[in-house]
Amino acid sequence: MIPKGTPAYLDRGERYVERIVRALYYFKQCALIGPSGTGKTHVVYIVAEITGLPLWEINCGLQTSAYDMFGRYIGLGKENWIDGQIVAWCRIGGILYLDEANMMKQDIAARLNPILDTRGHIVLTEKDNEIVHRHPYGYVIIAMNPFTSEFVGTKPLNAAFRRRMSVWINFDYLSVGDQICPDEVKLVQKRGKVSEDIAEKVVRVGAELRRQYKSGDLPYGPSPGDLINWATLISDGSSPLVAAEETIVGTTSDDAEIQDIVRRIVQATFAE
């Protein structure tokens, strides 16, 4: 699938798209690292759309089996083989996007190593040791959250796998804590169709939630898209508190205590 109509990304001089394209041109693979909601996947979609390359997206945090990744026979006997996503990417080319890469199973990471180094192939032991070579226009982007205790299931990236990533690009939020990005305020104002005052308060709430998320006190920090969704409901007539209940409160966590923390931040900000 080649993405179409991907929304523009708010770039403050980081040149993420340019840097990723450069990395793929010279090295064919790169890694993106940053908290959830910082736009890693968004930028990958933009890169795929600009380059016109098919995007093969795999979330490694899901319980994805080796059969799904590499392929299997279906039915009786060995007549009907179906390629998994990684093998199909090897044959067809495009961008293989491995999201949540530091939640990948070790056996799958080990099988990827020959594809990512100078050998450039995979051996299908399930299919009489067929050798499938990596397409000349086959590129790899991995994305991951920083390895910290609050990300259940994450682990340090396999050392051999890590060394095969030639370029590492760090992502961060636009606004965190007391540092409010005027461009993010304008974005929320424009796309959420709210006043500048409302947009600034929405971003201030998001910035505080992100600060607490980065310090390990909350399980999630809202993305610009989350804040725009909240602002959209406000512009539709809901009060900020009611709109927050339907958006960022539930998005942050199902835990009642954590939801109360979010509510208090919203109430304190909009009471100013």
The predicted structure's pLDDT at residue 149? 43
Q: Where are the alpha helices (DSSP H) in the chain?
A: 16-27, 40-51, 66-70, 85-92, 106-116, 159-163, 182-192, 196-214, 224-235, 240-244, 250-252, 256-270
Distance CA 111, CA 124 (A): 10
Distance CA 252, CA 86 (A): 32
Structure tokens at 194: 């709210």
Report the phi/psi class of residue 145: left, alpha or beta, with left for phi > 0 and alpha for psi in -120 to 50. Answer: beta
Is the pLDDT score of 242 beyond 50? yes
Please write the tens of the pLDDT for every residue from 75-134.
777 788 899 999 999 999 999 999 988 888 888 888 899 999 999 999 998 888 999 999
Distance CA 47, CA 3 (A): 9
Q: List all residues 6 or more positions away from 103 whose beta carbon is below 8 Å from its beta carbon.
A: 60, 61, 144, 153, 154, 155
Whether residue 252 contacts residue 206, with contact meaning beta carbons closer than 8 Å, is answered with: no
What b/e string do you get for 181-208 counting C-beta neighbours within 10 Å, with b at 16 or more? beebbebbbebbebeeebbbbbbbbbbb
Mean pLDDT for 220-238 is: 94
Whether residue 46 contacts residue 90, with contact meaning beta carbons closer than 8 Å, is answered with: no
Mean pLDDT for 222-248 is: 94
Structure tokens at 231: 């602002």
Please give the biggest Cα pair distance in the chain: 70
The predicted structure's pLDDT at residue 154? 58
Give the pLDDT band (50/70/90) at residue 1: confident
Please write the tens of the pLDDT for every residue from 122-167.
999 888 899 999 999 999 999 998 755 445 555 677 788 888 898 9
3-state secondary structure of 222: coil
pTM: 0.84
Whether residue 241 contacts residue 266, with contact meaning beta carbons closer than 8 Å, is answered with: yes
Please write the tens of the pLDDT for every residue from 36-72.
888 899 999 999 999 999 999 999 877 677 888 899 8
